[in-house]
Amino acid sequence: MNKIILSCVFFVLSISFNFAQRIPADTIKTNDGTIIIQPITHGSFVLQWNNMTIYVDPYGGADLYKGIAVPDLILITDIHGDHTDVKTLADIDTKKATFIVPPAVAEMLKTDYESQLEIVKNGEMSVHGEIFINTIPMYNLPKEENSKHPKGRGNGYFINLGGKAIYISGDTEDIKEMRALKDIDIAFVCMNLPYTMDIKQAASAVLEFEPKIVYPYHYRGNPDMSDTQAFKKLVNDKNNKIEVRLRDWYKK
């Protein structure tokens, strides 16, 4: 009996420890419900809205997702292991999830998840009840087939939740498709070298498409992390109406 009690206590403490270590969630009110934004790590986060839970690029191990509702939708941007993390996918509960993925990711996942895959290419739309998801390109500049992220392989995503427009950059540079965005409420913008872009490129693009809120994410590069404080200054020195939300995506 004592062993059972001790095991239960250890389980509760371990869950509580994970909650304590998790980056605090943000809430954003919409015309129809509240969006909860839960940063996880690197390029991964969870969106919750009106009893729908969306995992974006689940990565880093199942422990990071303890206590979070199981996903209804899983958005994956690219084939690289920090976006298509097959071990994390295997260890979290994905039984009721629909995977929104580009064709190259579908090839990687079809053996285990074929019946759950919805394949969308750049420029296509996916609709799930009141959730509208558009895909836009993400790629390196200059456009070369042998680049780390060639145009057409991965997806950036544009989601509408309760009238709030959310942009997820995926792995990209300051491409024309990003700069042409309009009326974005919340943007998740990557910045890490040598894989995507530096903070100057990211700031320049953000100043052009002017989201109301921007989260720098996916900012650990090789070997260092991008200077997100400097990114914030670059943006707010020219436009202090853009809210730059800095979060510790690599919290341990």
Task: Confirm whether 142 is domain-assigned.
Answer: yes
E strand or H helix at 101, and its extent? strand 98-101
Q: Six-digit token pair at 109?
A: 């996942």
Task: Confirm whether 46 is domain-assigned.
Answer: yes
- Strands 125-128 vs 117-119: parallel, antiparallel or unpaired: unpaired
Q: Please write the tens of the pLDDT for every residue from 19-68.
A: 547 899 999 999 999 999 999 999 999 999 999 999 999 999 999 999 99
Is the pLDDT assigned to residue 1 strictly greater than 50?
Answer: no
- Strands 186-190 vs 164-168: parallel, antiparallel or unpaired: parallel
Task: Confirm whether 60 is domain-assigned.
Answer: yes
What CATH code is carried by the domain that includes residue 89?
3.60.15.10
How many domains are there within the chain? 1
What residues contact 201, with CB distance under 8 A and at least 6 apart? 173, 174, 191
User: How high does pLDDT run on average in the chain?
Assistant: 92
What is the rounded average pLDDT of the residues 200-228?
A: 95
What is the rounded average pLDDT of the residues 155-181?
A: 98
Task: Confirm whether 3 is domain-assigned.
Answer: no
State which residues form the domain around 60: 22-244
Task: Confirm whether 140 is domain-assigned.
Answer: yes
What 3-state class would DSSP assign to 16?
A: helix
Task: Confirm whether 15 is domain-assigned.
Answer: no
CB-facing half-sphere around the CA of 55: CA atoms within 13 A: 29
**Which pTM does this prediction carry?**
0.91
Paired strand residues for 186: 166, 213
Task: Confirm whether 184 is domain-assigned.
Answer: yes
Q: Please write the tens of the pLDDT for every residue from 115-166.
A: 999 999 999 999 999 999 999 999 999 988 889 999 999 999 999 999 999 9
